[in-house]
């Protein structure tokens, strides 16, 4: 529960960063030169009515569809956080980052009718975007890396996680074999050795040389 609260703080902090920078960029009508020739701040008049990086911005149906999909995505992220990834902290952090981006753009779409984009990465062929788009994109990429390589439950665990997974599998195999042995002994009825004869039974055996016990 404590870690879930920490992830909630991460989400709220990134959400504040996203909304604050958007408000500042649109209030200042910011415009800068390219940094390293690939990225700059550029106010986008009218905002973006599409999705990340300006995709589908000309479609009339886009806004309603993306609002609905964003709400579904937020619910799915919360469900994954508390079910599939409830014991995977790196994955939970990634989900918290993605959630911040989803909520940030949802706030814009619901209250403004568009998303405030001001980070120009068109020279990288990604259009104009905002911090929320980066949270979603890099959070999703990091989540895929976690699922594939991080932790003993990863698809292809690396380093110590591979060893932990092998040890866990060896323990499970040993437990499975032990249970099979116990089941076999129980089925064969040889789980316990016969107990000693009582004095009465010993006397009856002596009186009957054939050793044939009768009730």
> If you count them, how many residues does the chain have?
215
Partners of 41 in the β-ladder: 119
Q: How far apart are CA 21 and CA 34, in angstroms?
A: 18
- Which of 18, 108, 117, 120 is catalytic? The answer is 117
Q: Which residues pair with 136 in a beta bridge?
A: none
DSSP state of 115: B
106, 74 Cβ separation under 8 angstroms: yes
Strands 128-129 and 40-41, by their bridges, are unpaired
Q: What angle separates helix 62-82 from helix 2-28, to the nearest 10 degrees?
A: 150
> Beta strand 119-120 with 40-41: parallel, antiparallel or unpaired?
antiparallel
Of these residues, 18, 108, 120, 133, which one is catalytic?
133
Q: In 10 A of CB 189, how many CB atoms?
A: 7
> How many Å apart are CA 100 and CA 74, to the nearest integer?
9
Rounded to 5 degrees, what angle do the CA atoms 120, 124, 129 make?
35
Could you confirm whether 33 is annotated as catalytic? Answer: no
133 noted as active-site residue: yes
Residues with a known catalytic role: 117, 133
């Amino acid at each position: 529960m404590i870690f879930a609260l920490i992830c909630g703080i991460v989400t709220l902090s990134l959400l504040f960063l996203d909304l604050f920078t958007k408000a500042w960029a649109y209030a200042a009508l910011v415009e800068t030169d390219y940094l390293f020739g690939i990225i700059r701040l550029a106010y986008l008049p009218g905002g973006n009515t599409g999705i990340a990086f300006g995709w589908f911005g000309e479609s009339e149906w886009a806004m309603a569809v993306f609002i609905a999909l964003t709400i579904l995505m937020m619910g799915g992220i919360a469900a994954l956080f508390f079910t599939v990834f409830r014991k995977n902290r790196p994955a939970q952090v990634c989900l918290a980052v993605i959630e911040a981006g989803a909520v940030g753009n949802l706030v814009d779409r619901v209250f403004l009718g568009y998303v405030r984009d001001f980070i120009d990465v068109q020279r990288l062929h990604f259009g104009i975007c905002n911090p929320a788009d980066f949270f979603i994109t890099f959070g999703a990429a990091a989540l895929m890396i976690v699922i594939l390589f991080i932790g003993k439950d990863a698809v292809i665990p690396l380093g110590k996680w591979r060893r932990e997974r092998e040890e866990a599998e060896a323990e499970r195999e040993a437990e499975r074999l032990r249970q099979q042995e116990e089941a076999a002994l129980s089925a064969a009825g040889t789980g316990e050795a016969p107990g000693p004869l009582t004095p009465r039974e010993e006397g009856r055996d002596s009186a009957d040389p054939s050793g044939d016990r009768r009730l």
